[in-house]
Amino acid sequence: MTKYIVQGGTPLFGEVEISGAKNAAVAIIPAALLVDGVCRIENIPQISDVTLCLKILENLGANIRSMNRHTVEIDCRHIHSTRTNYDLARRIRASYYLIGALLGRFGQAEVAMPGGCNCGGVRPIDQHVKGFTTLGAKVTVEGGFIRAATETGRLKGANVYLDVVSVGATMNIMMAAVMAEGITVIESAAKEPHIVDLANFLNSMGANIRGAGTDTIKIHGVERLTGGSYAIIPDQIEAGTYMAAVAATGGQVLVKNIIPKHMDCITAKLVEMGVEVEENEDTLLVRRSGKLQRTNVKTLPYPGFPTDMQPQITAVLTLAEGTSLVTESVWSSRYRYVDELKRMGAKIQVDDKTAVVEGVEYLTGAPIQASDLRAGAALVIAALAAKGRSEITQVHYIERGYEDIVSKLQALGADIQSVEEPDINLEANVG
């Protein structure tokens, strides 16, 4: 079992390089299944979710070559199965993108029900299913698998209106529709940067997608995608997490390899809290020397404040002067980490979708446990800012989405170590 040992209370100084976007990579890699040729994908983050995605594709018959640490070539010309490995697919939330990709290319898919983080709430895929059915697929769930198939072997373009703005459904339907007969229009589409990134990837392979980044996406179906090269955008949430860490600990950090426009929603809130942010072409200089001020945060679809930054900003607000309100309007029950922050002395009351955060002078190190990816990042931030020693367990959640987080923080002066310990349960001697 891996755990992080953090001795908190040290301000962060230096530079940090942001990796490729996790939320883009876990869709773009499955999208390679649509390509009847070789695609070269650059700026891939080295995280466990990406490793799993590549393993699933390899299991389906894809030929994968690692060119370097952040570049792979994927050849999906010899896919021999449209049924994913059950154990691999159920370990990752993003496995649902395999349905859209396989269905779009082969007219059928069998994918294990997705897993990944346990955020405490229901993250349904009903909008995904609605999209696939509208395009002419029959979708059933049996034996732990989602099965989707067309009668003719090819989907038919149609108008798809999403009842709720869903990033996952928008991306999945895009993939399914790329080679459908005729034109598909997705209304009430999500607008996140990684949706634009997926559209740009598919277009670079020969697709015809217009309107990504707006609420209406139009897709003209093509006969085939032929291959090419593409570089994934930088990770908005990773960048935001390091910005939040500086806000919590104090110090000054240059956040490199970012698209500043993607950061506006996060930057604005940190500035409200008394953090200085200086914007350059592809960097942000983040500085905090004075006291943190209270603010209110409400998560919204892009360009609003991202739900994936809600736990991290809440961790920072525990140290702000005054009382802040955090409202989660995207995912239900995303406050499972709050009890862990309370162990450290945070004063937080949760009522349904709203957390009332009363700022305290300082947090105190404690044994704490990550429950999901972003909750884990919030606990790291709290531990870095706290007085004394914290031990963070269940860190495999954190490593699903943050490349080299320990070494990146160490380079900024943080006292954090990754430690391997025997699993007590496995070592137990009964009797």
Cβ–Cβ < 8 Å for 271, 296: no
Mean pLDDT of the 18-22 span = 98
| Cβ neighbours of residue 253 closer than 8 Å, sequence gap 6 or more | 12, 13, 14, 15, 16, 242, 243, 245, 246, 285, 286, 412
Q: What is the β-pairing status of strands 108-112 and 276-279?
A: unpaired
Count the neighbouring beta carbons within 10 Å of the beta carbon of residue 291.
12
Told to judge if 117 belongs to the known catalytic residues of this protein, a careful annotator would answer yes
Q: What does the pLDDT read at residue 425?
A: 55
Write the pLDDT tens digit of every residue in 50-93.
999 999 999 999 999 999 999 999 999 999 999 999 999 988 98
Task: Give yes or no for a contact between 387 and 344, defined as CB atoms under 8 angstroms apart.
Answer: no
pTM for the full predicted model: 0.95
pLDDT band at residue 111 using 50, 70 and 90 as cut-offs:
very high
Phi/psi region, residue 152 (left: phi>0; alpha: psi -120 to 50; beta: rest), is: alpha
Which pLDDT score is estimated for 143? 87
Domains of the chain in sequence order? 2-18+234-424 (3.65.10.10), 22-222 (3.65.10.10)
pLDDT at 356: 98
Confidence class for position 144, pLDDT limits 50, 70, 90: confident
39, 53, 76, 117: which is the annotated catalytic residue? 117
H-run or E-run covering 311: helix 310-317
Q: With 60 as the cut, is the pLDDT of residue 305 above it? A: yes
pLDDT band at 427 (very low <50, low <70, confident <90, very high): very low
CA 239, 242, 247, 252 torsion-angle sign = negative
Percent of the chain with pLDDT over 90: 91
Give mean pLDDT, residues 265-272.
98
Instruction: Look at the alpha carbons of 221, 226, 229, 234 in this order and tell me if their dihedral is positive or negative.
Output: positive
Cβ contact 315:243 at 8 Å: no
Reported confidence tier of residue 123, pLDDT bands at 50, 70, 90: low
The enclosing H or E element of 26 equals helix 22-31
Structure-token pair, residue 235: 């990770």
Average pLDDT over residues 351-369: 97
**Mean pLDDT in the chain?**
95
